Structure formats: structure tokens, C-alpha cells
Structure 1
């Protein structure tokens, strides 16, 4: 009984863009190539103090961050978001601060000893 319910649920799920993993992989590679080709123009348009190589390293990090995702629907959603980001970046709908935020460490460890807490202004 439970297996039939699972099978019916699986059949009801429709793909977003890709029908199988290979097609999703092709979309990811295509998105990566599109970003890779646009990076020199992005550096010039935004007058970024980073080199093209640094941007390529950061691009590789972003794609490698999601390499363990196997669900085709999630991969398709990430590809759609990546395409939207690329379009916003190329059309200069972002500002330089938005682009530089990709190079900022988002997590700073909290100070643990007394002196570090005192210097950072934390209790």
C-alpha cells in the first residue's frame, strides 16, 4: 500500500526543464560556459578591482558548491537562477557593490576570549 502511494507521488512530479540527469548536466555546462565567456566584459563594465582569473576562480567555487545535488528539479531551479543572475549582471542591473559581495566572507567567527570580545565591542 505504501509503495503504491510513493509510486503515484513520483509519477505526479513533473520536470521543470530537463527530463533526465544528462540533459540537466548539459544545461549546467552551458550556463558555466556563458558565465565564463562574459567574465572579461563584466570586469570592464563594473570596473572591478579583481582580475578575470579571480572571477573565474570564484565562478568555479560557486558551481562546485552545488556539485553534490542530484535531484534534476533542484538542478533546473539553480540553472534558472544562474541564468537570471547572468542576465542581471550583463544588463548592468546590479551595482558594483553587489558584484563585490561575491568576494566577501559572509561568516565571521564570534570572538571567544575576553580580549577579542572587548576589541570587537561585544559583551
Structure 2
């Protein structure tokens, strides 16, 4: 795992869109290589599979697929490397990883919608206005 930490360094700015694209693929590969270690240190085997974590990482990368400015891509890669370093260095706790990458943004809405079956109309409107 120390090899992953050594490879987490901020590269110089990309000269072109193609170079930024190549760095994005390298970053994604680095994320995929760190998944077994992350699964082990956060004990995620009972919650998620490695392929589901890979899919979550791919979804995070794809969120910014429409960005074409190499400087913006470099900034996003820097933020991604910082996030990966925080995860690998155990700067986050297990519930942070589960909440952000396993359950995702829709988890709270799904949990609330299942709980409000027996709620009054007022509570249903309140939940939908605050979580939608």
C-alpha cells in the first residue's frame, strides 16, 4: 500500500486535453488498485463488493465527463487524489465511506420514503420538501 501513497503526488499542469484525459484514466486505475486495501482497512466486505466500489468510483469520474478545460480537469484530479489519500490514510471513518460511496446521495431520500408510509399528510409534505 505504500506504493499507492508514493504515487499520490500532484503532477504539473496538463498541456492539452489529451494529457488531462490520460491523467484521468491513470487516476481511475489508481483508485481501482486501492479498492482491495480500502475494503480491508474499513471492513466493507459485509456492506459492498469491490465491483460496486469500482462502479461508484467510475460514477464519480463520469460526473465531470463534460469538462473540457485542462486546468479544471487538473483541479478535479487534485481534489480526487486528495480524497483518495484521505481514504487510504484512514482520515475518514467507516460511516463516511459507506454514506458517500455505498449509499450515495439518494440513500437518505430512499430511507425517508420508506418510513413515511404511516405519516400524516403534513409530515409527508415536510419530508418531500426537505429531502427532494
Kindly provide the CA deviation profile for residues 37-62 of structure 1, in whole angstroms up to 9, marking residues without a partner as x: 00111011101121101101111111
Residue of structure 2 equivalent to 1:71? 69
- Tell me the distance in 2 between the aligned counterparts of 1:105 and 1:51: 15
Counterpart Cα distance in 1 of 2:74 and 2:83: 14
Partner in structure 1 of residue 98 of structure 2? 100
For structure 1, the 5+ residue unaligned runs are 1-15
Match of 2:9 in 1: none
Larger Rg: 1
> What is the 5 A alignment of 1:7-26?
17-26=13-22
Matches within 5 A, 1:53-72: 53-72=51-70
Distance 1:63 1:117, change over 3 A: farther
**Partners of 2:98 and 2:33 in 1: how far apart?**
19
Q: Name the residue aligned to 2:4.
A: none
**TM-score (norm: length of structure 2):** 0.69
> Structure 1, residues 19-54: CA drift from partner, whole Å, max 9, x if none?
111111111111100000001110111011211011
**1:116–1:50: structure 2 CA closer, same or farther, 3 Å change rule?**
farther
Structure 2, unmatched stretches of 5+, are 1-11, 114-118, 128-132
Instruction: Give per-residue Cα distances to partners, 1:53-109, cap 9 Å, x unaligned.
Output: 110111111111111111111101000001101111111111011101223343539
The Cα shift of 1:117 comes to: 3.7
Q: CA RMSD in A?
A: 2.6
Q: Output the TM-score relative to the length of structure 1.
A: 0.74
